[in-house]
Structure 1
Amino acid sequence: MATLEHTNFTVRDPQATAAWMKDVFDWKVRWEGPAIAGGYTVHVGSQHTYLALYAPNNPKITGESSYDIVGGLNHVGVLVEDIDAMEAKVRKAGFEPHNHADYEPGKRFYFDDDDGIEFEVIQYD
């Protein structure tokens, strides 16, 4: 069986994005430095998995919904042990949780970060 090791997506400020992810998710910066086409990347996550946060020299904001674009990033799912504690951390970081639901086999809520990336927080029962 294969395991997802990382995913890479574009943000305006990878260091700022990594900072809130460290505070909210308790992740660590694994590496950071210059990247393709004069950009900058920060790898943030755990020992075995991470998100690569890439910023090009001149980031462009589309304003389009990723759900309408083939190949778009729709959301990132993060599994937690205590969804209530995580929601408090998300709020403290300045993000507004929405779309709370209990479903088989657990609970979830969503929030959007400053780049408009949607995160789904999940706790299994």
Structure 2
Amino acid sequence: MDWYLDILKNKYAMFGGRARRKEYWYFVLFNLLASIILGVVDGITGTYSEDAGLGLLGGIYALAVFIPSIAVAMRRLHDTGRSGWWLLLALIPILGFLVLLVFMLLDSEPGDNQYGPNPKVAQGLPV
């Protein structure tokens, strides 16, 4: 939970630097859980729109985490030594998603790279 809150509070629109796999995947996990919970609440309260495929609370939440989601994904790509522009692969159906998934699963580039120091080293973890 700390990883998620840290991104929302301190790194809301921080596009530079690097993000460990743990930071990225905890953020994705909590986003998924929050979306499911809000979807259920939208369904119970009747604020879910079948035409839009989204409820009122879910839509507000999606807008609130849109920028932090892009920022943490860019930092994750930076950690693997790639530019944030690689996120545009998501526009390619299926294949783009799969390539990005592989990139997000890769380990950190050891040592410093052009985007900053390795976050594992900064936290005193073995590389």
The structure carrying a bigger helix percent of its residues is 2
Say which one has the larger Rg. Answer: 2
Name the TM-score class by shorter chain: under 0.3
What is the TM-score normalised by the length of structure 2?
0.24
Tell me: higher relative CO, structure 1 or 2? Use CA pairs within 8 A at least 6 residues apart.
Answer: 2
What is the TM-score normalised by the length of structure 1?
0.24
The structure carrying a bigger strand percent of its residues is 1
